[in-house]
Structure 1
Amino acid sequence: MDFSVPPVTVQVRDNATLSTLGVIDDFVSLTITPRFNSVGAYVLTISAASPKAVLLVPGNGLVIKRGAAVLMSGPIREPNWSLSQQDGGTGVLTVNGVDDMAVLAGATCWPKPTADEAHQTDPVYKISAVVAETAMRTLVNLNIGPGALTARKVANLTLATDGGRGASVTKQVNQFDNLLTTLQDIAKTAGLGFRVTQVGSSLQFQVYEPADRSGAARFSFALGNLSGSSYTVTAPTCTKAIVVAGGTDSARVVKVYTRPDTAYPGPLIEQFVDQTSVDSTSADRDAQMDQAADEALTSGAAQGNLTMTPIDTPRLQFGVDYTVGDIVSCQVRDDFYADVVREVGITFDSQNGYVAQAVIGSPDSMDNHDVLARQFQYIARIFTRLRRLETRKAA
């Protein structure tokens, strides 16, 4: 396939003003990896002798389009120069960057976001009985958005209109929890997607419901739009959540929630869910415990993971007919497996043209096969427990 049709346009922007500085039309290769509800990445390679190379520096960013669709936008992080005999001594510049979701990954949730650091008197930030989308927008708005303190506000960040999506949420956010992780927890149980992307001269935080395109976006070898696939299933890690509230300044309350998986018969898998920072006498105690249990059971459910290499056809093209966050279907043996497109690795180069590899299902199922990922998850749980201990002491 000729990767220039639909055309791929790489614009360089000034991150401060989001204005266009130029167009990179002579790159050697470009790989982008958009991810559902997470930070995507890109790698661009260009001759160091190119007159456009001077634009590819930190402080600038890229806006990558295929046709009219924006595939990714985000800041440049790491430009790397190299020389070799193969490039005739002119050198190669490789630029690594991330998408605009990075503004969420780099922020924390302050317990009292309307106050400066000298007046953080609240031990937690509380979300009380609001729909998931509203809760997510409020977290972004007060911590880094238009409603944030000037010192914390991300320039040019706006919020899309609140569509009132998702079920009601009641939970406590521990002091200085990561903003992206908190949004991921809420979105996962609510079945929502979110992203930050450049719209005109601003960055916009958007919440949406994944579009179900599983009827139209179908992949199989018989349909001629699939060149390879692999499917794995990871067993559940939590089918019984033991949620504990109170115990410090109020009486301890324990509630047990079960969500058995019929595909994995046998003893239930218990997991302790620490909500001891929740006052057990509060009127919304049960709602907070319910939310915590739902998050633990959803994260701990059995996960299916499908990696496929789709082939663009005139009737079905990535970035035109489906994108990251959409629900598509792919044939696995005799049946079609439908789930969210979690990640797509897309490569454009002059030799191989356009190649895309999509991941459908949960990223957790991939992480569970990786020892280092499991170690990071374990460390993250330790830090979460430590923050809760600090919260109780502060209270």
Structure 2
Amino acid sequence: MPSTALRVYVRNTALERIGQIDDYTSLTVVPRYNAIGSFVLEVSADSDKAGLLVEGNGLIIRTADGALVDSGPIRTADWSRSKDDSGEGKLTVGGVSDTEVLTRYTCWPAPGSAIGSQAAAVYKISAVVAETAMRALVNVNAGPGALTVRKNPLLTLATNGGRGPVITRQLNQFDGLFVVLQDIANAAGLGFRVVQVGAGLQFQVYAPTDRSGTARFAFDLGNLTDANYQTTPPTCTRAIVVAGGQSSPRSCKTYDRTDPLFPGLVLEQFVDLTSVDTASVDLAAQMDQAAEEALTVGAGKGSLAISPIDIPLLQYGRDYQVGDTVSAKVRTTWMTDVVREVTLTCTASEGTTVKAAVGTSDGDGTVARIYQYIARLKQDVGRLKTRKAA
């Protein structure tokens, strides 16, 4: 394999390393920020390691110098052969990142009680720091603090760093745990993941590391082969939050967020908090949080795709990773945002190539910073065209 080849190790169901796949023909791995990563590996069915690649086992994928790219369980192991194939054909192995474990659980309204005692209709988070709230949700629904029948014995929690703003929100009964974590993290500007640490899986919350001063990409720096950006219009610029109306009087409030590309566009969206008692002392905080999440999800989307070239002073895995903030030069202007997704492709003949997606479909604060930049750029172009026409 080339010197830049990704290293692939196989683990068993107890997360113990049981072998290395060093004769694969191709590998594509896609780690993602606040989302489920994936991998696809192809290897000759004649490989003496092929017997390790079965459902239930997993892969640990590292860069050539040992930095963790991703890890997770094998979900599919398919065999195929054509008349042009030599030997016994090939195996195609697919899997997902360990963060996928969070999608298996829901948020119980009374997580400390048996299913027959779930009398409450909601689970309430009251004035809690975002990271603390996220850890608590994982702990009581899937982690060490969960009921024995729900507890994942491999899952632990990293130390609480107290990151993020104070939040107040109410969860509907049995909301999906992973989706709730996404909503909280994206609105708070935090990242989360599950990674293998030793013989266990650890839930981690983190703030994106700002590497925009050192991880800089531009054609004139010689570390880009191609780049493109695209935008998607907003779906919500006005959140209409309605609380109560069932067992308590109704309370309604609108929250507006101007889109930089379509400043006159108003897109209303109903946000249902009718299950919330309007007599609650934290009603205003709950309505504010619900509006923030709706406007964040519905904000205009911006995404920049770049193909970096690893150079001695700037390499993926060592100098920047998914979840880090980097800088890229779009035409004549530098912009910064979080690396949301990286596609690493490795073949026996060409080594490893990297394709990074900077910016997101989830927004960042008011809207993604890239989207704001592109909006300004298009407005500038429009003004120039107007001047020329005049």
CA distance in 1 between partners of 2:54 and 2:260 (Å): 53
Q: 1:311 corresponds to which residue?
A: 309
How far apart, CA to CA, are the structure 1 residues paired with 2:7 and 2:265? Answer: 54
How far did 1:32 drift? 0.2
The aligned amino acid for 2:50 is A
**Residue from 339, 342, 346 that aligns with 1:341:** 339
**Which residue of structure 2 lines up, in the alignment, with residue 145 of structure 1?**
143
Which of the numbers 96, 99, 106 marks the counterpart of 2:97? 99
Distance 1:38 1:55 in 2: 27
2:348 and 2:44 map into 1 onto residues whose CA distance is 13
C-alpha contact (below 8 Å) 1:170/1:287 kept by paired residues: yes
Partners of 1:182 and 1:306 in 2: CA distance: 26
d(CA) in 2 for partners of 1:267 and 1:209? 32
Q: Share of identical aligned residues, percent?
A: 57
Taking the aligned partners of 2:260 and 2:25, their CA distance within structure 1 comes to 50
Aligned pairs for 1:191-210 within 5 A: 191-210=189-208
Counterpart residue number, 1:190: 188
Match of residue 266 from structure 2: 268
Q: Which whole-Å deviations, capped at 9, do the CAs of 1:335-384 have from their partners, x for residues lacking one?
A: 0121111101111111222111111111359xxxxxxxxxxxxxxxxxxx
Q: 4+ runs of 1 displaced by more than 6 Å?
A: none
The equivalent residue for 1:75 is 73
Whole-angstrom CA distance in 2 between matches of 1:294 and 1:276 = 17
Q: Could you tell me which of 11, 36, 44 is aligned with 1:47?
A: 44
Mapped pair 1:292 → 2:277:
no
Letter in 2 for 1:46: V
Within the candidate set 4, 9, 12, 2:10 is matched to 12
SS at match of 2:98: coil
User: How far 1:244 moved relative to its partner?
Assistant: 0.2
Which range is displaced more, 132-141 or 64-73?
64-73
The 1:181–1:281 alpha-carbon spacing in structure 2 relative to 1, beyond 3 Å, is same
**Counterpart check, 1:63 vs 2:73:** no
Deviation track 1:292-324 (CA, whole Å, cap 9, x = no partner) reads 000011112222110111111111111110000
Instruction: Give 3-state SS (helix, strand or coil) of 2:221's partner.
Output: coil
Is residue 135 from structure 1 mapped to residue 133 from structure 2 by the alignment? Answer: yes
- Alpha-carbon distance in structure 2 between the residues aligned to 1:319 and 1:107: 30
Q: CA contact under 8 A between 2:6 and 2:352: conserved in structure 1?
A: no
CA distance in 1, matches of 2:232, 2:56: 41
Deviation at 1:86, TM superposition (A): 2.8
Distance 1:336 1:48 in 2: 47
Q: Equivalents in 1 of 2:269, 2:214: separation in Å?
A: 39
Tell me the secondary structure at the aligned position of residue 139 of structure 1. helix
Aligned equivalent of 2:253, options 245, 249, 255: 255
> 37-46 or 113-122: which moved more?
113-122
- Indicate if the aligned counterparts of 1:324 and 1:341 stay in contact, CA closer than 8 A: yes
What is the distance in 1 between the residues matched to 2:169 and 2:3?
48
2-side partners of 1:74 and 1:93: how far apart? 18
Once residues 87 and 50 of structure 2 are traced to their aligned partners in structure 1, the CA distance between those partners, rounded to angstroms, is 16
Matched, 1:213 2:215: no
Tell me: CA distance 1:3–1:111, structure 2 relative to 1, closer, same or farther (3 Å).
farther
**1:332 equivalent in alignment to 2:330:** yes
Give the aligned CA root-mean-square deviation in angstroms: 1.3
- After superposition, what is the alpha-carbon deviation per residue over 1:18-71, rounded to whole angstroms, capped at 9, x for unaligned? 111111111111110000001100001111011111111111101111122111
How many pairs were matched up? Answer: 362
Specify every segment of 5 or more residues in structure 1 that has no aligned partner in the other structure, as ranges.
366-395
What is the 5 A alignment of 1:111-190? 111-190=109-188
Deviation at 1:3, TM superposition (A): 4.6
TM-score by length of 2: 0.90
After superposition, the C-alpha distances for 1:124-155 in whole angstroms (9 at most, x for unaligned) are 11111100000000000000001111111112
Structure 1 Cα separation of the partners of residues 87 and 51 of structure 2: 18
TM-score by length of 1: 0.89
Whichever residue aligns with residue 27 of structure 2, its letter is L
Tell me the equivalent position of 1:28: 25
Q: Give the superposition deviation at 1:270.
A: 1.4
Q: Residue 370 of structure 1 corresponds to which residue in structure 2?
A: none
> Do the aligned residues in 1 keep the contact of 2:105 with 2:176 (CA within 8 Å)?
yes
- The answer on whether the counterparts of 2:46 and 2:88 sit within 8 Å (CA) in structure 1 is yes
Mapped partners of 1:169, 1:218: distance in 2: 34
Q: Which amino acid aligns with 2:221?
A: L
- Paired residue type of 2:320: Y
Note if contact 1:39-1:105 (Cα within 8 Å) is conserved in structure 2: no
Q: Distance in 1 between matches of 2:8 and 2:2?
A: 13
Deviations 1:223-276 (A, max 9, x none): 111001111122222111110000011000001111112432214221111111
Given that residues 3 and 348 in structure 1 are in contact (C-alpha distance below 8 angstroms), is that contact kept between their aligned partners in structure 2? no
Cα pair 2:296 2:362 within 8 Å, conserved: no
* Secondary structure in structure 2 of the residue aligned to 1:138: helix
SS at match of 1:189: helix
